[in-house]
Amino acid sequence: MTFYDDIYPFYPLQRTSFIFSGCLLTVILVFLVLAASLLLILPGIRGKSRLFWMCRIIISLFIGGVIVALNFTSDWAEASMTTNATYKSFSNAVVNADIGLHVGLYGINVTLKGNPVVQFNETIDYNEMFSWHDTMEEEYEEALERGLPNPILYVAEKFTLSSPCGLIFQYRYSGRYASATLWTAFCCWLLANILFTMPVILYAGYMMMATAAFIFFSMASFSTIMNAPQCVFCIGTDSFEINYSHSFWLALATGLLCAVIGILVSTLDFLMPERMKEAFSVGVDTYEDEDVCYGEGYLNTIFLDGVTVLPLTSNVTAERT
């Protein structure tokens, strides 16, 4: 294959790489709408409890949003490097580019961005997704037919069934178990929020600790990818290895936050249960109806012939006893 005016003649034009995941954007928008809707009730809350309810709404929705969003992020683990590599097959053209591998629970993202972006009269800016749900071989063959750059094909080939590295088995099952435990953590978070509206604050604290536990289980499940055979990714004269990334550490921070909240709520409910019920506005018995101050009244004796009238104060006293 040869060049024709510095253009590769038999490859389709490169697609524009996506900037943001559609599923992740949907999750963020849903929780932002929920937060805005719930914060609208704050003006109707009086006193110091307004600040407490604002913090409660924001922290709770933050935890729920993070748990759901972590299922759709693609940066639980990642690796990157800058190197000179052959751009496409049947060509001796070498480009300088940043190559990145981003591992999520449902697949991998392989990125390729040129330095500079425009080289050989072409924009080098790729972000390709390879999902575990579909057959990896089919997606790899489709990538070959589309004529993707060599660095992307090289990284994707490492995760096929025919690869001697065997990375797909460990990564796919680790991602599935991590996702399942995250959805279980989300269910525990929902139960905790329901229990916070009932006079069982102690069990709400227990469910927050259960939420933290399942988040930690998901991290432990994903961490098993480090037990897989360490396959070295060599592109050009450089190589890289996969390490934990933002989503993994965000999961750790969220799990610790849930654990702290659960332990704090359980401890305070054990030490001062009535104050906790009052703070969460649940299970508080009020005697406002009994504390009504009755003033002097006048009775029309015309309608009370033959009726025995007891003093009003005696009736109130009898009801209280």
Rounded to whole angstroms, the Cα distance separating 148 from 127 reads 11
Each residue of 9-19: pLDDT tens digit? 444 444 444 45
Task: Please tell me which residue, 302 or 261, carries the higher pLDDT value.
Answer: 261
* pLDDT reported for residue 240: 83
Check residue 144 and give its pLDDT: 86
Angle at 23 between CA 17 and CA 24, to 5 degrees: 85
Q: In the prediction, which pLDDT does 212 show?
A: 96
Most confident of 10-24, 41-55, 166-180, 226-240: 166-180
Could you tell me how far CA 11 lies from the centroid of its own chain? 38
Q: How many CB atoms lie within 10 A of CB 249?
A: 12
H or E segment at 169? helix 167-195
Place 20 in a pLDDT band, splitting at 50, 70 and 90: low
pTM score: 0.78
> What is the share, in percent, of the chain residues with pLDDT greater than 90?
26
The pLDDT tens digits for 109-155 are 899 988 888 888 888 888 888 887 767 788 888 888 888 888 899 88
Beta strands 94-103; 107-119: pairing state: antiparallel
Range with the poorest average pLDDT among 31-40, 96-105, 235-244, 303-312: 303-312
Provide the pLDDT for residue 267.
93
pLDDT in tens, 172-206: 889 999 999 999 999 999 999 999 988 888 999 99
Average pLDDT, the chain: 80
* Nearest-angstrom CA–CA distance, 235 and 151: 7
Q: pLDDT band for position 215 (50/70/90)?
A: very high
Decide which of 266 and 90 is more confident. 266
202 vs 268: CA distance, rounded Å: 9
